[in-house]
Structure 1
Amino acid sequence: MQFTRGLLALVILIAPALAPAEECEVELFVLGAGQDAGAPHIGYPDDPAWADPALGQTATSIAVVDHVAGERFLFEATPHVTRQLQLLDTLAPADGPGLGLDGVFLTHAHIGHYAGLMYFGREGAGADGIPVFVMPRFAAFLQGNGPWSQLVKLENIVIQPLAAETPVQASKGIHVTPLTVPHRDEFSETVGFVIVTNASKTLFLPDLDSWDEWAQASGIDLATRVVELDHLFVDATFFQDGELTGRDMSEIPHPRVKDTMERLSGLSPELRQKVRFIHYNHTNPIRFPASPESALVSARGFDVARAGDRLCLAP
């Protein structure tokens, strides 16, 4: 399988559509890799992306495309969904009119993961019956609260309830299984998704509180999951403690990138290279490819997901 590093965002957006790097039946595309609010970040005037937009980042989202069936599935509807669908159209154009989405899978009800649904309504795309796959509490939240309830009423979206650890067939070549994980669940459950093809299993897990809490709840630790899966896109919100000035980061539960790397340091290089860090905060230095922290991630045998990356899930 081949993991191809994406081009610079500006080049991607103006270039003609790119063919897959190899013959590939099911392909994953990284559309964004930042934390919910992206970068430059609101209330952060010193962010270098204000002066250089090329340093900006959009919130975390991936797409999985079944090239055989001509179907495209979006994972997370972010506040940057307009730009991200334009990127997807450049990398893997839709076969027909409209948004060309055959389903949207949402992990939880925090702004960076579902707020982009607002663009599917009559003020935006005026979408027609896009299936939106969510857990039961999340479904009730969307159905019972505006403006999301209007999307349901007008059938811009059609809610497809999920059940934990129960796979759904997205297309002939793709099955998706939600796994509940510990996180702030004010309005919905939080899940990661295992995306299964005939050749691979991929974990998409942008948000959780603690590897230990998840292992205790599920009975499976992170190292075991790395062994059992082929690719893992995991929470990299913070690189280490001390990133947020004036904040007690012990009160902000997310696995730190340094801790995750240390936990997996005993695994072989072949296993460590399965892990790709995603959902990094604007304060996390791995957002910059040339940073010492990004170099450290590579030196330890891991990778950092970047917008424009593509990964073949079924050759």
Structure 2
Amino acid sequence: MKSKWYIFILTTLFFWGCHSKQEVVEIPNQPFFVVLGVAQDAGYPQIACTKQCCTATYKNPTLKRMVSCIGLVDPINNESWMFDATPDFTKQAKLLTNYVKEKEVPDGIFLTHGHIGHYTGIMYLGREAMSAAKVPVYAMPRMREYLTNNGPWSQLVSTKNIALQPIQNDTTLMLNQRIAVTPLQVPHRDEYTETVGYMIHYGKKKALFIPDIDKWQKWERSIVEYIKEVDIAFLDATFFKNGEINRDMSEVPHPFVEESMQLFENLTPEDKKKIYFIHFNHTNPLLEEGSEAQKQVQAKGFRIAKEKSVIPF
């Protein structure tokens, strides 16, 4: 008899160990964003980095950050969408379930481009992992062609783990009666696919998501005018300043945060508060809480995207 109770207790402990309670969160009653990750494609810490910026995370795992990604939640329809699918997709999809009921994956995934931190997370929808059924993946023409004609991604398409949804530059797509999305093509290193940011519409409100772009000056459009137009702007902040890494930084062009702050210096305080810098390389001091770089950005009136933060539309 004792052995039966012993087995029952062990089984119960195992069950609760594998089925821990979902995190209790306060859910706004209108659409909102969840910052699911803030690091550049290779994550934080980054592989083979022996500098203090990364070694500190092994001593204190709470410093680690997931790869840049945002979630959009419509609590009215119990719907959610991810913008980019990162190598941290499993954790980020689980984090998003705190805000929707009975859904383990988002209702759709919008891809920006074909660099490792922005699309490879869809592998977890395949037969080796979740074996999902027709998860909508929104992609531009070259991105769709790349996924369709190159393995292992083509297997996701042929086995219908994902359902590719065509989108076009400057063409608005309605997701439901409240929310719409418009892709905006931007200049970037387009070895395999084009690169887009997204304008996200909710009624008269707008949010801009551009995690990767070469330089603002290379874009034929004005980022300053876009900032004035929107309510929220998640913008590329891969590097804080020139000379941050030990290689020719023209090979990996991004707007340095110092350059962006100079470009945006004449914006009103209200417009500056719209800007959330995101997509930080492991060398970027904006990852370090309380750093002088963080203080400088905040003193100038800008914001720094924080993992797990909820931002009302």
Structure 1 partner of 2:116: 111
What letter matches 1:87 in structure 2?
L
Show structure 1 runs of 5+ residues with no match.
1-12
Alpha-carbon deviations, 1:272-291, whole Å to 9, x = none?
11111000100000011211
Alpha-carbon deviations, 1:152-181, whole Å to 9, x = none?
011110000110000111222210000000
Match of 2:101 among 75, 95, 98: 95
Structure 2 partner of 1:223: 224
Per the alignment, in what secondary structure is the counterpart of residue 208 of structure 1?
coil
Show structure 2 runs of 5+ residues with no match.
1-19
Alpha-carbon deviations, 1:167-211, whole Å to 9, x = none?
111222210000000001111110000000014100000000010
Structure 1 partner of 2:268: 268
What letter matches 2:248 in structure 1?
D
Q: Provide the identity percentage.
A: 42
Match of 1:151 among 153, 156, 161: 156
Deviation at 1:95, TM superposition (A): 2.5
Distance in 1, matches of 2:244 and 2:58, equals 20
Distance in 2, matches of 1:266 and 1:145, equals 46
1:142 is the counterpart of 2:143: no
What letter matches 1:19 in structure 2?
E
Distance in 1, matches of 2:232 and 2:95, equals 22
Alpha-carbon deviations, 1:65-101, whole Å to 9, x = none?
11111111011110001111122123x1x3335x232
What letter matches 1:259 in structure 2?
E
Structure 2 partner of 1:286: 286
| Segments ≥4 residues shifted beyond 2 Å | 13-17, 94-97
With structure 2 as the length reference, what TM-score do the two structures score? 0.90
8 Å CA contact 1:76, 1:104 repeated in 2: yes
Match of 1:50 among 38, 58, 64: 58
CA-atom RMSD, angstroms? 1.4
> Higher relative contact order at CA 8 Å, sep ≥6: structure 1 or structure 2?
1
Match of 1:16 among 23, 46, 58: 23
1:78 is the counterpart of 2:77: no
What letter matches 1:243 in structure 2?
E
Give the 3 Å change call, closer, same or farther, for CA 27–60 of structure 1 in structure 2: same
Structure 1 partner of 2:12: none
Distance in 2, matches of 1:129 and 1:136, equals 19
Distance in 1, matches of 2:84 and 2:180, equals 17
Distance in 1, matches of 2:184 and 2:119, equals 18
Structure 2 partner of 1:254: 254
Distance in 1, matches of 2:21 and 2:87, equals 21
What letter matches 2:169 in structure 1?
A
1:171 is the counterpart of 2:176: yes
Deviation at 1:16, TM superposition (A): 2.5
Give the 3 Å change call, closer, same or farther, for CA 14–248 of structure 1 in structure 2: farther
Tell me the matched-pair count: 291
Distance in 1, matches of 2:248 and 2:190, equals 21
8 Å CA contact 1:66, 1:171 repeated in 2: no
With structure 1 as the length reference, what TM-score do the two structures score? 0.89
Match of 1:191 among 196, 209, 217: 196
What letter matches 1:285 in structure 2?
P
8 Å CA contact 1:35, 1:281 repeated in 2: yes
Distance in 2, matches of 1:250 and 1:82, equals 33
Distance in 1, matches of 2:95 and 2:275, equals 24
Per the alignment, in what secondary structure is the counterpart of residue 175 of structure 2?
strand
Structure 1 partner of 2:75: 67
8 Å CA contact 2:93, 2:105 repeated in 1: no
Structure of higher CA gyration radius: 2
